[in-house]
Amino acid sequence: MDFEQAWLSYRKRTDDTNRQYFAAVYGEFEEPVMNTAFLEIERAAAEILDVKTERKRGMPEPGATGIWLKTDPEEALSEEGYHISERDGLVVIAAGGVRGILYGSFACIRYLQTGRTLRGAELRENPSNPLRILNHWDNMDGSIERGYSGKSFFFRDQEVLINERTVAYARLAASVGINGVVINNVNVRGNATRLIEEPYASKVAEMAKIFADYGIRLFLSLNFAAPMELGDFDTADPLDEEVREWWKEKMGEVFTRIPNLGGFLVKADSEGRPGPFTYGRDHADGANMLAEAVKPYGGIIIWRCFVYNCQQDWRDYKTDRARSGYDNFASLDGRFLDNVILQVKNGPMDFQVREPVHPLFGGMKETNQILEVQIAQEYTGQQRHVCYLIPMFREILAFRTYCSETEDTVADIVSGRTWGNKLCGMAAVANTGDDVNWTGHDMAAANLYGFGRLSFQTDLTAEEIAEEWIVCTFGDDSEVREKILKILMMSWPAYEKYNAPLGIGWMVNPNFHYGPSVDGYEYSRWGTYHRADHEGLGVDRSDRGTGYAMQYNEPNASLYNDLDSCPDELKLFFHHVPYTYRLRSGKTVLQHIYDTHFEGVADAEKMKELWQSLEGKVPERIYRRALERLEHQVWHAAEWRDQINSYFFRKTGIGDEQGREIY
Ligand code: GCW
């Protein structure tokens, strides 16, 4: 099987002070996750230290050295939390539950990978977010919606695929703290609707077992119209008694067949998918019907809020796609059952390189919420451009919503700190496929690694996460570390610079969402406009325009509503402004566009040069693969620069203050 181990490709370390600990592991290993923890420690010890680990049942004798895996309800730890402490040659990994033991074990392995000694170690972690989920948009024919790293490793030719890669994937996910995985596309079509039935369900159960051994719960995306497609109903009305009965029975079957199933993710009434609207019902009716049916089995329903009118008339200046999430869901606050979670994209549009934070965060007080981000780089360079997204996610998490006096950030809300709820967390649309390196661009693995680490430990900085990933992946040569860190940290700002300016977004080729096309979506039905004319551009979302800004709590509403106080980077998202308007930076909008587009390309060149200076210091195959992409990125960034700059030069007739070439 042709795949690498990404950050778990262990390299030897000879000069290690950690050998003594890894020679013996104490504990009870019957429970499958405990057994996994042992096997992982054993494997790391063999591959990194050349040490053979002995499995020792029970408690260590006084004076013994090694690692003791100890579930300990006495410790002030959540079920997934762990406490690592070393004294006199014995490392104790104490945890609230078996998954905590597994995460603690991977944390110990990170000590090895990053060359830190466990002597005197003292580390206590409780995960920040209860749910840390990857959403795969994989289809049963093996394709992946918005997939940029090859084909699905979950499905092939309408079959569920289980092989070595399944386990390798579970290891990668668990090693960074992922505890939930949705294996199929939210657009549930064709045979995917049947995943809840035989013959598929038994295969899904087999996969769920593999994941369960790594502390991960498997989820499926569900087709709201299943009663019509699988049953013989002519309705899927959530208030129809027979439909409700059908779901209850169906869920009884599914959870019996797939005992480790976590529940379901649902995209309803969105981009042509069926949902409760057809029957004059609302999202609470829809979600609650399913929640009731899965409740007896401890299942949860994750209901997406990506609901908007995708049949808009571009001539219509009043309808605003950005408003739709809030308009559809905010008034339903308090109506969802407690095993329903609303999953909200980070911004109100769709994963653009820059968007304001979605106003549903802080807009609902009695509803469980998951923050959905996208590490599949649909709009951020499709894993051909480097774009390290963790700095963006950190900004989103730190956003103050003003929904309460304290603990009001997005991180507070989705961790459960604000309202005290337990079902909440973070989800990422995954960036994996069956490419040999999992993520197409080798650098994109930093987003996969980073999402897991950040969702587990939200207080880690983007730099800390990047450095950890670099050292685990490439070793700890200081030049390699510094240069790759530099590339990663400059990559999102660079992408933003040569992309659509100042928060407006969407200047991409329709459908594929790759490459510049300023008017690509301007006269379409998707609600994604920049409204550029010869005088200015941007969408008026203030109270004089669509009113979107007023969906925020104060003082955010006023901050965005007012042209001058609105932050530069979001100016065109909230306002239609003249090209000659001076930003807070002192530059005119037009000159800002020119400057950032020239800078963005220079940044891309810089990233390529930094990488080239590492030739011979990183593995040759990785060097080549990434170089090819960086070369493409430089070329493609120039394409972005020249199309965007020329477009605005032609619209305005105003040249660049510095006289640089515009076409
Ligand atoms: O970003 C859009 C994508 C669709 C996707 C949709 C969604 C799965 O272009 O491909 O569909 O979002 O999030 O549901």
Domain at 6-125, CATH homologous superfamily: Chitobiase/beta-hexosaminidase domain 2-like (3.30.379.10)
Ligand 1 closest atom vs CA 351? 1
* Ligand 1 lined by 306 (C-beta under 6 Å): yes
* Ligand 1 lined by 350 (C-beta under 6 Å): yes
Ligand 1 closest atom vs CA 137? 8
- Tell me yes or no: is domain 131-474 CATH 3.40.50.150: no
Pocket test for ligand 1, best of 143, 145, 182 (most atoms within 8 A of CB): 145
What is the three-state SS of 163-191? CHHHHHHHHHHHHCCCCEEECCCCCCCHH
Q: CA separation (Å) from 512 to 141, 175, 379?
A: 19, 32, 9
CA 271 to centroid of ligand 1, rounded, Å: 8
- ipTM (interface pTM): 0.99
> Could you please report the per-residue DSSP string of 590-613?
HHHHHHHHHHHHHHHHHHHHHHHT
Pocket test for ligand 1, best of 135, 137, 143, 183 (most atoms within 8 A of CB): 137
Backbone angles phi, psi at 335, to 5 degrees: -95, -10
CA distance 486 to 292: 50
Ligand 1 closest atom vs CA 350? 1
The answer to whether the CB of 583 falls within 8 A of the CB of 574 is no
CA 200 to centroid of ligand 1, rounded, Å: 25
pLDDT along the chain (663 residues), means of 10: 93 87 97 98 97 96 96 85 96 96 98 95 97 98 98 98 98 98 98 98 98 98 98 97 98 96 97 96 98 98 96 96 98 98 98 98 98 98 98 98 97 97 97 98 98 98 98 96 98 98 98 98 98 98 98 98 98 98 96 98 98 98 98 98 98 97 96
Give the start-end residues of each E strand in 379-532. 425-429
CA 129 to centroid of ligand 1, rounded, Å: 24
Write down the pLDDT at residue 1.
61
Domain residue ranges in the chain: 6-125, 131-474, 498-539+576-652
The answer to whether the CB of 267 falls within 8 A of the CB of 302 is no
* Ligand 1 lined by 145 (C-beta under 6 Å): yes
CA 523 to centroid of ligand 1, rounded, Å: 20
* Ligand 1 lined by 187 (C-beta under 6 Å): yes
User: Do 131-474 and 6-125 fall under one CATH topology?
Assistant: no
Catalytic sites, residue numbers: 271, 350, 378
The CA-based angle 75-25-465, given to 5 degrees, is 65
Residue nearest to atom 12 of ligand 1 (CA): 350
Token readout for 650 is 């032609």
Pairing between strand 159-160 and 66-71? unpaired
Q: CA separation (Å) from 360 to 33, 82, 182, 405, 424?
A: 36, 32, 23, 17, 14
CA 137 to centroid of ligand 1, rounded, Å: 9
* Ligand 1 lined by 560 (C-beta under 6 Å): no
Model pTM score: 0.98
* Ligand 1 lined by 146 (C-beta under 6 Å): yes
Q: CA separation (Å) from 516 to 464, 501, 521, 593?
A: 33, 12, 11, 14
Residues 255-291, buried b or exposed e (16+ Cβ, 10 A)?
bebbebbbbbbbbbbbeebbbbeebebbbbbbbbbbb
User: DSSP state, 241?
Assistant: H
* Ligand 1 lined by 372 (C-beta under 6 Å): no
CA distance 330 to 367: 10
Taking alpha carbons only, the member of 471, 580, 573, 571 closest to residue 534 is 580
Taking alpha carbons only, the member of 452, 570, 565, 517 closest to residue 215 is 452
Ligand 1 closest atom vs CA 145? 10
Pairing between strand 82-87 and 122-125? antiparallel
Residue nearest to atom 7 of ligand 1 (CA): 306
Give the alpha-carbon dihedral of 135, 409, 346, 155, to 10 degrees.
Answer: 0
Q: What region does 223 belong to: left with phi over 0, alpha with psi -120 to 50, or beta? A: beta
**CATH class for the region spanning 498-539+576-652:** alpha beta
* Ligand 1 lined by 141 (C-beta under 6 Å): no
